[in-house]
Amino acid sequence: MITRSRLALMSASALLVAGGTLVAAPSASASASAGCYASSCYGKDPDSTGCSNDAQMIDRVPASGSKYVKLDYSPTCRAAWAKVVGADLDTEFWVATKNTGQEQVRYSYGAYGWTPMVNDAGTTSHACFYYYADDNTSKWCTIYY
């Protein structure tokens, strides 16, 4: 599990020391090359925008097994999305923000799929899905991040 402070630490460790001067990698050009940033990512595909290039898996539920949903986050794009793995056909899964009301819902067309992104700047998000096992259905959600 990756925390925001750990992402900040990882970003800080990416700084380069050149000739005694601290130089940061250009984040503005990175976000420009990604195709969207924060609110402009809402409803867009993480792969086609390039946001999946630096995606961090924040959490997955259940923690073990071949059927799960995970919350992915792009620090460059400041956006989050849900990915489902090992799902049954028509499994409902989604990503939602905690306090801005943004949500993206999808139904799997196979064992693997993902939602469009939500703006994760200034809020937290989580990913959920309905887990079908035998005759039982349960709702599983990741942590908010």
Q: What is the CA radius of gyration of the chain?
A: 16
Report the pLDDT value the prediction gives residue 8, as an integer from 0 to 100: 42
Report the pLDDT value the prediction gives residue 88, as an integer from 0 to 100: 86
If one counts the domains in the chain, the total is: 1
Q: Percent of the chain scored above 90 by pLDDT? A: 66
Query: Distance of alpha carbon 71 from its chain centroid, rounded?
Result: 5
Answer whether residue 6 shows pLDDT above 80.
no
pLDDT in tens, 31-51: 457 899 999 999 999 999 999
Which residues constitute the domain of residue 17? 4-141
Confidence of residue 55 (pLDDT cuts 50, 70, 90): very high
Confidence of residue 134 (pLDDT cuts 50, 70, 90): confident
User: What does the block give as tokens for 107?
Assistant: 């139904």
How far is residue 117's CA from residue 17's CA, in Å, rounded to a whole number? Answer: 34
Which distant-in-sequence residues (6+ apart) come within 8 Å of 39 by Cβ? 119, 121
pLDDT in tens, 102-123: 999 999 988 899 999 999 999 9
Around Cβ 80, how many Cβ atoms within 10 Å? 33
How far is residue 88's CA from residue 43's CA, in Å, rounded to a whole number? Answer: 24
Contact 70, 59 (CB under 8 A): yes
